[in-house]
């Protein structure tokens, strides 16, 4: 029953509209003919009669013109013309002929913002005007002017008939436009509601009735917020008032929980109120929510741009990567100056080189465009952009999708590797520690990675004190804004930990060890984002501390720390070689002889128990806990040496390399978990020349440069082996080196500088394990097991060590 009632109501409305039009036309005709058709009852004179005749003739002509004007209007505006603008345009051009002074008459009809006028129309002081308003709020006005004013008065006298004609014509045109607008609104799929200047309903179409849930007859004339009080003081009221105040269109969305329905309302201001166009967007809203869910769960940043290059949508990951909230991103063009993006050289990326520009030019997808971006907080990030077009059926670009991935870690690692690569040349050619430290600091600060670098010296085996740390030299800054040198007391505590543990210590804006809060505050006060203290160590001995500071916001991550640790070990190796070189070339040397009867030493205990002599030929660190000793035994069976001692945890493994029956003895490989006396001296920087244990008494002879703190060495040895004493000290001047010594020195340098720690260990183990003898005294598998390596890994390192050793030797001998 509802649909027939609605159809009947529509027919009734159409009949009402036509009746209104006919009534308007009838009134206009009656007024014109009655107003202009009155005749006087008598004429007193012949002149009066003559004048009356002329007046009657003019009035008759006016009525005739009015009649013709109305007839023509009925011809043009009867029914619903396909293009009412053409009808109005035609009528305006013909309108002057129906006024008394048609040659000097011009006319204009305004419909809303559209203006239709005759050529040469310009406003004068004397006009005939009329105005009306359609049901949807469209203003219709007519203005007739005369370009030739009367000389006597300066005014053109308009007849009453002409003024009434203008009123009648405006009413007729308004009715035609009214019918055309209503018919148009009935045919649109969207709901339309017209509110007058008082925000009362003037018109509601059928679609709007369904969306609003109210009948148009019930709504007409009602104040909008009286009908829907729940919408007052909401975004709906705000948007409608904004449209009225600014005379600009706007929109808002509303959700009906009762209907489970989303509706978009587009508000357009009119001459006398607002027009609200309603669209149900439930399906698109649900699809949009599903898209939002996909975008928010995507691990990469997503940015959507329209065909003009303006951002229309972003996800949370994009906000995070760009350091901006969504409302600051949306609507911003990709070429906006706020986007501080740059290439690998640090130069700004121009509009021409921008990947989105290239996509608009070629229409092709662009993948892996790597660039840097400066975030609002001043930090920097590296992003990889993948840019793809969404095209219409005709091939034009409708939308652009940008996927952003954070490649800061890998890019920084790549840059850091490139930064450290030139350092290898410095380290390979190092001849003096001081110059080497200075060159490394200059190299590191001549990049975007670090703005400050300093290497502080450290004596291996000693505790770090504040004065030692602050006396460091070689500080280098990237520019004049960084003070030199930065030597804060807050650095002492993390530096001490770095020396003690041999591990890098870092501080950043985001995090820090709770023990180093003062160091973090001091770092930030200096304007840096992070700092690091890297121990320069070799075989457990720290030869110095590399102090670095940077402006990078995401510095000193796990991979960078690993890279810096490896770099610190390489520098430590070189500093160790330079220190060894200094000892060997010292003008004055001190030969120290130590004796020990401390049973804490495995070799002292074993030689006393077996009444034999043990000579330790070499000691190799196989792991953090294991030391492998190669020893020659005289006067005892190797089988007896293998009997478990009382302190069994010290001996990890024992393997016979060569044994003899008469006299008993041979060569053996022994793995121990505790450090030996000789290894303790090596750790302190001494060069051990003899390490022999006879019948429970060890004698270790070592060389140190004259001037070395011998008391410190003795104290450190006795700390590990209390029953040890320094029995002699002999000063001497090293003899001049022969050619044979020179070749040996070359081999020593190559061994220390060119081979890795693992290659050195493998080569030494192979040498003392008898691998190079014929027949072999140890197999590759046996030595590999000792060093906790696979047989293939052992062979790989051994071949590389041999190749490097002889290549470098022959290269230097040919110079």
**pLDDT, position 43:** 43
Q: Is residue 571 part of a domain?
A: no
The answer to whether the CB of 321 falls within 8 A of the CB of 333 is: no
Instruction: Give the pLDDT mean for 333-361.
Output: 87
Q: How many CB atoms lie within 10 A of CB 199?
A: 17
Do 279 and 350 belong together in one domain?
A: no
List the Cα angle 616/622/626 in 5-degree steps.
80
149 pLDDT exceeds 70? no
| Domain finish residue from 355, 372, 406 | 406
**pLDDT, position 545:** 92
Distance CA 632, CA 452 (A): 52
Do 719 and 788 belong together in one domain?
A: no
Backbone angles phi, psi at 398, to 5 degrees: -95, -35
Q: Is residue 784 part of a domain?
A: yes
| Domain finish residue from 558, 574, 593 | 558
Instruction: Give the pLDDT mean for 94-110.
Output: 88
Do 339 and 452 belong together in one domain?
A: no
The answer to whether the CB of 175 falls within 8 A of the CB of 116 is: no
* Phi-psi domain of 47 (left: phi exceeds 0; alpha: psi -120 through 50; beta: other): alpha
**pLDDT, position 631:** 93
Q: Is residue 575 part of a domain?
A: no
Q: Is residue 472 part of a domain?
A: yes
Name, in order, each residue with C-beta under 8 angstroms of 288's C-beta and a sequence gap of 6 or more: none
User: Which residue from 546, 554, 550 is spatially nearest to 572, judged by alpha carbons?
Assistant: 546
**pLDDT, position 21:** 42
Q: Is residue 702 part of a domain?
A: yes
List the Cα angle 202/205/210 in 5-degree steps.
120
The tokens for 349 are 């990326």
**pLDDT, position 42:** 44
Do 40 and 158 belong together in one domain?
A: yes
| Domain finish residue from 406, 437, 468 | 406
Of 83-87, 387-391, 781-785, the poorest mean pLDDT is in 83-87
**What is the CB-side half-sphere exposure of residue 603 using CA atoms within 13 A?**
35
pLDDT tens digits, 719-733: 889 999 999 988 888
Do 771 and 626 belong together in one domain?
A: no
pLDDT tens digits, 37-76: 444 444 455 555 566 667 777 788 888 888 888 888 888 8
Instruction: Give the pLDDT mean for 17-41.
Output: 43
Distance CA 712, CA 730 (A): 17
29 pLDDT exceeds 70? no
pTM over 0.75: no
pLDDT tens digits, 688-703: 889 999 999 999 999 8
Tell me which residue range forms the domain holding 794.
Answer: 735-815
**pLDDT, position 410:** 81
Q: 384 falls in which pLDDT band (50, 70, 90)?
A: very high
Do 500 and 421 belong together in one domain?
A: yes
Instruction: Give the pLDDT mean for 396-415.
Output: 87
Distance CA 85, CA 473 (A): 88
Do 89 and 232 belong together in one domain?
A: no
Distance CA 253, CA 679 (A): 80
**What is the CB-side half-sphere exposure of residue 186 using CA atoms within 13 A?**
13
Instruction: Give the pLDDT mean for 98-127.
Output: 87
Of 500-504, 559-563, 643-647, the poorest mean pLDDT is in 643-647
751 pLDDT exceeds 90? no
7 pLDDT exceeds 60? no
Q: 249 falls in which pLDDT band (50, 70, 90)?
A: confident
4 pLDDT exceeds 70? no
The answer to whether the CB of 576 falls within 8 A of the CB of 543 is: yes
359 pLDDT exceeds 90? yes
Of 165-174, 524-533, 596-605, 636-645, the poorest mean pLDDT is in 636-645
The owner of tokens 């007896």 is 640
Residues forming beta bridges with residue 311, ordered by sequence position: 305
Q: Is residue 291 part of a domain?
A: no
Query: Residue 529 sits in a domain of what CATH number?
Result: 3.30.450.40
531 pLDDT exceeds 80? yes
**pLDDT, position 143:** 92
Distance CA 393, CA 173 (A): 43
Instruction: Give the pLDDT mean for 680-685.
Output: 81
422 pLDDT exceeds 80? yes
Q: Locate the DSSP E strands across 378-451.
A: 380-391, 397-406
427 pLDDT exceeds 60? yes
Do 257 and 269 belong together in one domain?
A: yes
Name, in order, each residue with C-beta under 8 angstroms of 376's C-beta and a sequence gap of 6 or more: 323, 324
pLDDT tens digits, 177-186: 877 777 766 6
Distance CA 428, CA 804 (A): 14
Query: Residue 240 sits in a domain of what CATH number?
Result: 3.30.450.20
pLDDT tens digits, 190-208: 888 888 888 888 888 888 8
Q: 218 falls in which pLDDT band (50, 70, 90)?
A: confident
Task: Round the average pLDDT of the chain to a whole number and report it.
Answer: 81
Do 441 and 544 belong together in one domain?
A: yes
Q: Is residue 3 part of a domain?
A: no
Number of H helices, E strands in the chain: 26, 28
Do 29 and 174 belong together in one domain?
A: yes
**pLDDT, position 288:** 72
Q: 214 falls in which pLDDT band (50, 70, 90)?
A: confident
Q: 248 falls in which pLDDT band (50, 70, 90)?
A: confident
Do 473 and 434 belong together in one domain?
A: yes
Q: 8 falls in which pLDDT band (50, 70, 90)?
A: very low
pLDDT tens digits, 290-343: 777 777 888 888 999 999 988 888 888 888 888 888 777 877 888 887 788 888
150 pLDDT exceeds 70? no
pLDDT tens digits, 550-579: 988 778 888 889 889 989 999 998 888 887
Of all residues in the chain, what percent carry a pLDDT higher than 70?
A: 85
**pLDDT, position 462:** 67
Q: Is residue 513 part of a domain?
A: yes
Instruction: Determine the 3-state secondary structure of 570 from DSSP.
Output: helix
795 pLDDT exceeds 60? yes
Task: Report the DSSP pairing between strands 311-314 and 301-306.
Answer: antiparallel
Number of domains in the chain: 6
Of 13-17, 295-299, 789-793, the poorest mean pLDDT is in 13-17
Do 306 and 277 belong together in one domain?
A: no
């Amino acid at each position: 029953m509802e649909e027939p009632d609605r159809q009947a109501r529509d027919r009734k409305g159409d009949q009402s509209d036509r009746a209104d039009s006919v009534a308007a036309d009838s009134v206009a005709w009656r007024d014109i003919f009655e107003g202009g058709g009155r005749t006087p009852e008598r004429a007193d004179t012949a002149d009066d009669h003559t004048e009356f005749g002329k007046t009657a003739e003019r009035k008759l002509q006016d009525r005739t013109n009015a009649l013709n004007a109305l007839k023509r209007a009925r011809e043009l505006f009867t029914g619903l013309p396909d293009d009412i603008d053409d009808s109005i345009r035609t009528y305006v051009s013909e309108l002057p002929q129906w006024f008394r002074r048609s040659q000097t008459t011009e006319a204009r009809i305004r419909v809303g913002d559209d203006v239709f006028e005759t050529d040469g129309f310009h406003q004068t002081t004397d006009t005939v005007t009329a105005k009306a308003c359609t049901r949807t709020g469209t203003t219709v006005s007519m203005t007739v002017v005369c370009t030739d004013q009367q000389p006597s008065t300066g005014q053109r006298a308009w007849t009453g008939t002409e003024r009434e004609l203008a009123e009648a014509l405006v009413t007729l045109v308004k009715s035609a436009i009214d019918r055309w607008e209503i018919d148009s609104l009935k045919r649109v799929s969207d709901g339309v509601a017209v509110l007058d200047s008082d925000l009362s309903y003037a018109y509601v179409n059928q679609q709007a009735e369904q969306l609003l849930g109210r009948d148009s007859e019930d709504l007409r004339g009602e104040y909008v917020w009286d009908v829907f009080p729940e919408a007052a003081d909401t975004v709906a009221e705000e948007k409608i008032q904004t449209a009225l105040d600014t005379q600009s269109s706007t929109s808002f969305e509303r959700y009906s929980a009762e209907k489970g329905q989303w509706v978009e309302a587009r508000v357009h201001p009119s001459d006398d109120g607002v027009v609200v166009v309603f669209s149900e967007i439930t399906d698109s809203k649900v699809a949009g929510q599903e898209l939002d869910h996909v975008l928010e769960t995507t691990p990469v940043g997503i940015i959507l741009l329209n065909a003009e290059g303006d951002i229309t949508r972003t996800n949370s990951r994009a906000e995070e990567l760009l350091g901006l909230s969504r409302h600051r991103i949306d609507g911003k063009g990709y070429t906006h100056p706020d986007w501080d993006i740059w290439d690998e050289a640090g130069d700004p990326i121009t509009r021409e080189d921008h990947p989105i520009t290239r996509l608009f030019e070629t229409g092709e997808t662009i993948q892996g465009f790597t660039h840097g971006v400066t975030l609002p907080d001043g930090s920097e990030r590296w992003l990889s952009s993948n840019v793809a077009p969404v095209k219409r059926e005709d091939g034009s670009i409708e939308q652009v999708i940008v996927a952003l991935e954070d490649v800061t870690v890998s890019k920084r690692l790549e840059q850091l590797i490139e930064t450290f690569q030139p350092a290898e040349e410095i380290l390979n050619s190092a001849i003096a520690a001081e110059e080497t430290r200075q060159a490394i600091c200059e190299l590191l600060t001549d990049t975007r990675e670090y703005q400050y670098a300093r290497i502080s010296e450290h004596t291996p085996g000693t505790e770090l004190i504040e004065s030692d740390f602050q006396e460091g030299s070689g500080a280098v800054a990237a520019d004049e804004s960084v003070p030199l040198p930065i030597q804060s007391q807050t650095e002492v505590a993390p530096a001490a930990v770095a020396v003690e543990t041999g591990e890098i210590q870092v501080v950043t804006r985001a995090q820090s060890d709770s023990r180093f809060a003062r160091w973090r505050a001091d770092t930030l006060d200096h304007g840096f984002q992070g700092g690091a203290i890297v121990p320069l160590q070799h075989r457990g001995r720290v030869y110095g501390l590399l102090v670095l500071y940077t402006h990078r916001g995401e510095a000193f991550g796990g991979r960078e720390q690993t890279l810096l640790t490896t770099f610190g070990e390489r520098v430590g190796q070189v500093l160790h070689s330079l220190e060894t070189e200094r000892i060997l070339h010292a003008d004055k040397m001190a030969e120290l002889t130590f004796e020990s009867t401390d049973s804490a030493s495995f070799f002292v205990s074993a030689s006393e128990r077996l009444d034999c002599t043990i000579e330790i030929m070499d000691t190799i660190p196989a792991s953090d806990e294991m030391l492998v000793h190669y020893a020659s035994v005289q006067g005892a069976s190797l089988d007896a040496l293998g009997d478990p001692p009382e302190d069994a945890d010290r001996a990890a493994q024992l393997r016979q390399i060569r044994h003899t029956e008469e006299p008993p003895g041979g060569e053996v490989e022994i793995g121990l978990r505790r450090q030996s006396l000789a290894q303790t001296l090596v750790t302190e920087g001494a060069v051990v020349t003899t390490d022999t244990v006879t019948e429970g008494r060890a004698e270790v002879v070592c060389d140190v440069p004259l001037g070395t703190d011998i008391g410190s060495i003795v104290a450190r040895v006795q700390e590990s082996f209390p029953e040890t004493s320094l029995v002699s000290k002999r000063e001497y001047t090293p003899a001049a080196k022969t050619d044979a010594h020179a070749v040996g020195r070359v081999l020593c340098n190559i061994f220390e500088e060119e081979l890795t720690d693992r290659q050195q260990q493998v080569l030494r183990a192979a040498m003392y394990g008898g691998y190079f003898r014929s027949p072999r005294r140890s197999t590759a598998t046996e030595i590999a097991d000792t060093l906790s390596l696979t047989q293939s890994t052992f062979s790989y390192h051994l071949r590389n060590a041999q190749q490097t050793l002889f290549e470098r030797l022959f290269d230097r001998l040919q110079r």
